[in-house]
Structure 1
Amino acid sequence: MGPLIPNGIIPEEWNSIIAIIIGIFFGFILESSGFSSSRKLAGVFYGYDFAVLKVFFTAALVSMIGVLYMDYLGYVDMTQLYVHPTYLWGAIIGGVVMGVGFVAGGFCPGTSLCAVAIGKIDAIVYVIGIMIGVFIFSELFELFEPLYNGYFYGNITLMDTFGVNPYWFVFIFSLIAIVAFLVSDFVRKRTKKIFY
């Protein structure tokens, strides 16, 4: 379980059950927020709805501030947290493929499953496409492996990459988020006149 739950309070056998409960709540919140709508999700690329951008920026900021604060108070040791390894080419190409899929289909993998759960046909087609892509990738993995494992940078973060103090990084990231919110509101108001 998470770093705030000491060993012994919740048995390890409950991990899967807790994960399912969290997943159900996450799906419910996605659906309640309208994130199972491909129009709402694609709106960020067309300039008429920036809810996705604002939610992701807010989630990243709250998470960073929360982790740093808990590290400061001694509840969490940041050096013990898992950092996913960085394979530069895999990340860039995967990001481009997912971005094109996001714009074309109006879903990301998580929101597509949420939309499938409520029976949306476009999401079902999207998820079938994901499964076909996964199958092709797994069958041709030997061909893709040099690209997949290329330019390994280790378990680094943006703070490590830029050599910035974590607290300064959060401050700078907060300023970037505020600017992004202001710009997105300006663009949305301009686009609203065109679409409506």
Structure 2
Amino acid sequence: MFPLHLTGIAEVLVTVVIGFWFGFILEQAGFGDCRNLAAQFYLSDMRVLKVMFSAIVTAMLLVFAASAIGWVDFEQIFVPPTYLAASVAGGLALGVGFIIGGYCPGTSLVSSATLKLDGVAFATGVAAGMFLFGLTSPYVEEFWTVTGALGRLTIFDWLGLDAGPIVLGVFLMAVGAFAAAEWAERRFQWAKPPVSAAANSRVVLRAFAAAGFILALVAAVIGQPDAERKIALQKARLDATIQSRKVFIDPAELLDLMYNNQVDRILLDVRNESDYNLFHLKDAIHTTIDEIDRYWRPRLTAEQLVVVMSNDERDAIEAWKHLAISRNLNAYILAGGVNRWCDVYFAGNLNVPGPEFGSQGDEEFRYADAFMKLRQCASAAVPVGLNIPGSPGTNIDVSRPDQKLVALRQFTPKIHLLKAVKAPGGGCGG
């Protein structure tokens, strides 16, 4: 599913091409002349609203219609994080500057490219403002980066609705805004006479409006894919990954990870609550697939490493699929589940199969009776004796055995971090 991820020279070339055509279209639309832009505020020439709203609504319709039919994965499209306080302050500053100077930063560069002196002066002021902001930003850093920080937030996330009705509503609002703009240009003619539209251009506009309405209906009627639809759309990729076993990690590798304080790890246990309460790995969080869809997947980032587990593998594989449909998440599965973990660190069987071999279990916790007896004798966290060669009678906490036990079992590392590990601490408090 699109979007494609470009790197290297391809990324540079695509950026240059898009930048060129963006500037070219702005110039062709008359955005390199401050008189056309200033006329927006006198309501006599509404080309700014028409051009920019056309671009925004067209992109919205194409993205969400394509997402509805499974051509585009919207979760893979970068949405700038929302900083509410900074957005309000920046919007006010930009608006005042636009009214006074007749340009915004982008249009001032377009004007400068055609050697208009007012555009050059405005662009120079923008550069000076950026320089001054860079000098003073440390003093107001918390305001810009913390106050009103809401992360990736869209209108439909905020309202708790599917994107489809929102898309249809925005499209209808755009049609209303265009009609209002046409009326304003006829009503307010003091800045400059309105340009009358040719008959053929009105036909083209109606055709585009009809096409837009169809796309909006597609997004609204079909709706955005839920987790199950995304899994179905990505079935070939997900099944191939599972069959390759490259996301299954050995109990020893997980134990090593549990002692790595430079990795932001999250352990998700999707077993039933009774088995979880009877025994679970240290720091493992009990959750359900529904909670993965509603809570975890929208909040997890590429900097975090997630390991899901069940008693065997069946339920963990299903939970992993609900995470893996977001390709910017780094998720793995505990090979053999909690049963294999207990085979190694409770029963002391160091020769159980590695992660290349799957578990055919029926998701029953095979050690339930043993841990029940331990609970009857003492607390749930009671250390148990392991019959490990060379260390007879060693007492360990099965939920997180001593780090030295990692070396007793060989494994091939499977974990690859999507982002760099945390910088190690230093100084007096490190």
What TM-score comes out, normalization by structure 1 length? 0.90
Who is 1:175 aligned against? 172
**Stretch deviating more after TM superposition (166-175 or 15-24):** 15-24
User: CA–CA distance in 1 between the matches of 2:44 and 2:30?
Assistant: 15
What TM-score comes out, normalization by structure 2 length? 0.42
Output one character per residue of 1:93-142: Cα deviation in whole Å (capped at 9) or x when no partner. Answer: 00010011111111111111111011010011101111111111110112
The residue correspondences of 1:87-98 to structure 2 (distance < 5 A) are 87-98=83-94
Amino acid corresponding to residue 127 of structure 2 in structure 1: M
Give the structure with the higher percent strand. 2
Output one character per residue of 1:15-49: Cα deviation in whole Å (capped at 9) or x when no partner. Answer: 21232122222222211221111111121111111
Amino acid corresponding to residue 164 of structure 1 in structure 2: L
Greater relative contact order structure (CA < 8 Å, 6+ sep): 1
Amino acid corresponding to residue 96 of structure 1 in structure 2: L
Who is 2:153 aligned against? 156
What RMSD over aligned residues (CA atoms) do the two structures have, in Å?
A: 2.0
Q: Which runs of 5+ in 1 are unaligned?
A: none
Matched residues, number: 192
Whether 2:41 is the aligned partner of 1:45: answer: yes
Q: Which runs of 5+ in 2 are unaligned?
A: 194-430
Of 75, 95, 102, which aligns to 1:106?
102
User: CA–CA distance in 2 between the matches of 1:101 and 1:193?
Assistant: 23
Output one character per residue of 1:75-98: Cα deviation in whole Å (capped at 9) or x when no partner. Answer: 211122211111101000000100
Taking only the aligned residue pairs, the percentage that are identical comes to 34
* Structure 1 contact 112–123 (Cα < 8 Å) conserved: yes
Who is 1:188 aligned against? 185
**Stretch deviating more after TM superposition (82-91 or 183-192):** 183-192
User: CA–CA distance in 1 between the matches of 2:190 and 2:37?
Assistant: 20
Amino acid corresponding to residue 165 of structure 2 in structure 1: W
* Structure 1 contact 137–144 (Cα < 8 Å) conserved: no
Q: CA deviation at 1:14?
A: 2.3
Give the structure with the higher percent helix. 1
Who is 1:27 aligned against? 23
- Structure 1 residue ranges, 4+ long, deviating more than 3 angstroms after superposition: 193-196
The residue correspondences of 1:111-130 to structure 2 (distance < 5 A) are 111-130=107-126
